[in-house]
Amino acid sequence: MAIDYQHLKNRAFAPVHQHYTERETMLYALSLGLGNDPLDAAALPFVYEGLEGGLRALPTQAVVLGYPGFWAREPDTGIDWVKLLHGEQRVRWHQALPASGDVVGHNRITHLTDKGEDKGAIMITERRLESAAGELLATVQQVTFLRGDGGYSQQGGGQPSDAPLPALPPTPEDRAPDVTNTQAIRPEAALLYRLMGDTNPLHADPAVATKAGFERPILHGLASYGLVAHAVLRQCAGGDPTRLKALDIRFAAPVYPGETLVTEIWRVPGQAGQFQLRARVAERNKVVLSHGFAELV
C-alpha cells in the first residue's frame, strides 16, 4: 500500500491531553543518563526534588509530551514503518516547562515531499504544546525520512509534493569548536527512553533492527537530541533550562546504546546567544548529529 498525500495531510489527530508528575520529569532526565555520576551536582536539579528551588524540567521533555504515539505503524497510513527514520528535530520554546502539570498536544502533518522512487519521501509533523490554560509552551517540528515510500507522487495519476523546509546550516569546518562536552550513554538507554512513549521496536527488538539494516537496536533520535541539549545547557547556559529558546539538529547516523557522545559547540560570531553544534560517537569517531543550531537568552 502506497502512501496517499491527501489522506495523510488531512489525517485528523485528536488533541492529546496529558498530566505529568515530578516522577515522570525525573524519569525523563534519568533516561538521558543524568545522575549516572552520583557526585555530579549539575545534574541533581533535574533528578532530585529535595534541593532549594525544587525540581527543574529539562526543556527537551517537551518533545515527549502531548505525543500521539507511534501512529505511523497504523495500517491506514500506508507508511513502510520499518524503514522510517527520524531525520531532523526543530523546537522553539515559548515558556519554561514546569516540572509537573497538565498539557495539550495539537499534532498535524504539515509537509510531504517526494524525493523519488529510490530516494524515499520526507514527512514533517508539527506539535503545538500548550498548557491546560491554553498558553503556548513549545512548537515542535519533526522531520521523518520515509525510506520505503518514495515515488508516491507518480502513482494514482500524480499526487502533490510539498517544498521542504529551509536547510539547516552546516557546522564550521575551518576552526575548532569553542567547547566540547562528553557524555556516556548507558547500555540500556534505549529501553529506558522508550518508556517516554516511543515504542518503535527498532529501539528494543534485535530482529526488527536487523530487518531495518542495523546491527542492533539503535538509540532514539530524540534521546540523543536531549543529550545534546543538556550539553548546551551545561557548557553554555550555566545549567539553566529556562535559557534555551531554540534547538535544531539533523540526525546524521545512528547512535548505539553504550557509546560515548561528544558534543562540539561553536559560538556564532557577532550573534550573542547563538551556537552551532554537532555530536560524534567517540568509539567510532563518527558524526551522528550535525547541522545543529541553538539559541539561548
Residues with a known catalytic role? 198, 203, 218, 221
How many angstroms separate the CA atoms of 103 and 123, rounded?
Answer: 25
> What residues form DSSP beta bridges with 146?
84, 121
- DSSP type of residue 270: T
User: Coil, strand, or helix at residue 205?
Assistant: coil
The two most distant CA atoms of the chain are separated, in Å, by 64
SS3 sequence of 216-264: CCCCCHHHHHHHHHHHHHHHHCCCCHHHEEEEEEEECCCCCCCCEEEEE
Beta carbons of 9 and 112 less than 8 angstroms apart: yes
Residues 6+ apart with CB under 8 A from 15: 104, 105, 106
Q: What separation, in Å, do the N-terminal and C-terminal C-alpha atoms of the chain show? A: 47
The beta strands (E) that lie in the chain are given as: 16-20, 84-93, 101-114, 121-131, 136-146, 179-184, 244-251, 260-267, 274-281, 286-296
User: Coil, strand, or helix at residue 62?
Assistant: helix
199-227 in b/e form (b: 16+ CB < 10 A) is: ebbbbeeeeebeebeeeebbbbbbbbbbb
